[in-house]
Amino acid sequence: MESKRAFLFPGQGSQLSGMGASLYDQTPEIRYLFDQADEILGFGLKDLMFHGEERDLKRTEITQPAVFVYSYATYMSKNEGLPDAVAGHSLGELTALVAAKALDFEAGLKLVSARANAMQAACEMTASTMAAILGLDDKVVHQICQNTPGIVVAANYNCPGQVVISGEIVAVELAMEACKKEGAKRAIMLPVGGAFHSPLMSPAKDMFAEAIAHTVFHTPMCEVYQNVDAHPTTTPETIKHKLLHQLTSSVLWTSTIETMKENGISTYLEFGSKVLGGFVRKIDREAAVTSFE
């Protein structure tokens, strides 16, 4: 039986200064994507990507469009044919939807920009942050978050032994200490300005909901595995619902890859990063993984 393939797209955190510069000169089609992005957004994104300093690229309203454009341009440059399924990590879910033709590039980029601005506005309402917990069982991290005073949740289940927690700064710090006491190998505060995938993103949902309501979604050409429940979806209304709720829900990446494996997917192609490929290898040791960046 022929191996089923999934295409994967990274999220915020995979940005690097100079990203996309070598892609820009490859073909007229790729160059048009970058030029079109500047036009759609109304500012010089490609200049920030190619020449900007890392502190510029860390701003959410810049990071998210930059990662989206770079990973989609990488995908377009490879001509890998049609996948059996797609998935993206957090922001990457929107890139996956464009690759699956549920959204066109312009609609996808406008949604990314609306999402980034909504999330940035929510970040500014509460002092909040995220931290990576390494070497502790998922259930233990979840339980610690539940038992910690204040708002802190397990936000990203990336792979066995790696969970990112998210919430109010003091609550995150308390949960980090508790995780270390329970035997976590490391607890690392992340350089982010907000608590993504936590209840603190609730204000962003109202703003993002309006952008989704004004966007035309199509039936994707393959199954889309979404972060909220790790299940495959092909219905535009369901896709929209899950995309909105992703802002305040955990990214179930480990479950996504486990479900893909159960459904016969054994080959993964990642576009725009090597991070997800690393997670996949830890979740499914038999998987064939290729990362393009």
- Given 14, 71, 89, 197, which residue is catalytic? 197
Where along the chain do the CATH 3.30.70.250 domains lie?
132-189
Residue 53 predicted with pLDDT over 60: yes
Of 99-108, 185-194, 211-220, 254-263, least confident by mean pLDDT is 185-194
Angle at 122 between CA 116 and CA 125, to 5 degrees: 145
Residue 18 predicted with pLDDT over 70: yes
Helix-helix angle 275-283:253-262, to 10 degrees: 60
Q: What is the pLDDT of residues 252-271, one digit of tens each?
A: 999 999 999 999 999 999 99
197 belongs to the catalytic site: yes
Residue 2 has what pLDDT?
67
Q: How confident is the model at residue 1 (pLDDT cuts 50, 70, 90)?
A: low
In words, the CATH class of domain 4-123+199-292 is: alpha beta
Distance, C-alpha 18 to centroid of its chain: 20
Please state the CATH superfamily assignment of the domain spanning residues 132-189 in this structure. Malonyl-CoA ACP transacylase, ACP-binding (3.30.70.250)
Q: What is the pLDDT of residues 191-210, one digit of tens each?
A: 787 899 999 999 999 999 99
Rounded Cα gap, residues 135 and 63, in angstroms: 28
Rounded Cα gap, residues 82 and 104, in angstroms: 16
| Phi, psi (degrees; rounded to nearest 5) at 121 | -60, -40
Of 11-20, 175-184, 261-270, least confident by mean pLDDT is 11-20
Q: Among all chains, which residue has been given the structure tokens 């609609």?
A: 107
Q: How many Cα neighbours within 13 Å face the side chain of 290? A: 10
Residue 13 predicted with pLDDT over 80: no
Residue 280 has what pLDDT?
97
Q: Integer distance in angstroms from the first to the last C-alpha of the chain?
A: 29
90 belongs to the catalytic site: yes
Rounded Cα gap, residues 219 and 103, in angstroms: 9
- Averaged pLDDT, 264-289: 96
- Given 14, 71, 89, 90, which residue is catalytic? 90
DSSP letter, residue 3: P
**Ordered DSSP codes for 9-73:** E--TT---TTTTHHHHTT-HHHHHHHHHHHHHHTS-HHHHHHH--HHHHTSHHHHHHHHHHHHHH
Q: How confident is the model at residue 25 (pLDDT cuts 50, 70, 90)?
A: confident
Where along the chain do the CATH 3.40.366.10 domains lie?
4-123+199-292
